[in-house]
Amino acid sequence: MTRYSKQCIFLGIDRDSALRRAKVAVVGLGATGSVIASWLARAGVGHLTLIDRDLVELTNLQRQILYSEADIGTPKATAAVNILQRANSEIEVVPLIADLTSGNAQDVLAGYDLIMDGTDNFEARYLINDISIARQIPWIYCGAIGSEAMVWPIVLPQTPCLRCLMEQPPPAGDIDTCDSTGVLGPAVGVAASWSALEAIKILSGEEPATHLVRFDLWKNERQFISPPASRCKYCINKITEFLDDKWVVKASTLCGLDGVQIRINPPGNLDLEQFRNRLQARTGTDWKATPHTLTGTEGQLAITIFKDGRALIHGDITPERARSWYTEVVGC
């Protein structure tokens, strides 16, 4: 008996072997991404690149099954790789601690057979959709909120793209989030497991589902939604507006928390020890540096600066003031 013998009984030798030759990027290793990555690693997908910008937090553990209390404060990509390599040492699993932006998406997502959506925001999904348009790489939309689960395989040019269904991202205030609506762990598991199953179909040469699947598991609702039959101007003419968006610094209020997130485009590569010395002199307080983060306080603000240039500033501060602080201390 081999590791994949039960899977091989169902798929057959050729389709099972195709998984070993596949190269997949999982973007986002939170609730859905952690489940997707786990199933694909155990199925023997030959190469997985795991992309996430965040650290494991206590509130993640209710639904993000790859992590434990021991991983709190560790980059999700690093923690995920450590666990998945113990589950399957025969495949290549690579962590990438990165914020996906228009400035790096082309390089980060080039050369894969499939891109898996484990994100929690529409900006990243529209970037992935642009990569799919530009490079004809299939991807699978996956989302979960409350008790709802949604999955949609997008395989251009055979299927419509995300913008055929929804031309623009919904306004931020119109979107339910885990902080406003909550989310049930099993709903996450259903969405991500369905997504991983569609991935195995694509990677083994089978046709994926052509519809968007939606479940409300609390209300016992199931929908199979047919996408538009027509194609939008974006995928027809290969228009990639989100990839072409050349912003430099964004400051936005943290969802559900007091504070601001700073993002830069393209991501940088800060010398955290250099900034540690600068901030300790500026604030008169001790700052802690790890290979990936620098944390400390200035007055009533708790601040985390990431090696790629991002920053989280917790406390009573406006986005405008946070951006001013960032440009003064870090620069652009």
Q: Which residues are catalytic?
A: 178
Spatial distance between the Cα atoms of 287 and 280, rounded to a whole number of angstroms: 6
Which contiguous run of DSSP H or E holds residue 173? none
Structure tokens given for 270: 């800060």
Residues paired with residue 224 on neighbouring β-strands, in sequence order: 213
Residues 6+ apart with CB under 8 A from 145: 176, 177, 178, 181, 183, 187
Closest CA to 26 of 11, 47, 8, 9: 47
User: Residue ranges of the alpha helices (H) in 118-184?
Assistant: 122-135, 162-165, 178-181
Edge-to-edge strand ranges of the sheet holding 259-264: 249-253, 259-264, 311-314, 301-306, 293-298, 288-289
Residues paired with residue 140 on neighbouring β-strands, in sequence order: 116, 153
Within 10 angstroms of residue 271's Cβ, the number of other Cβ atoms is 11
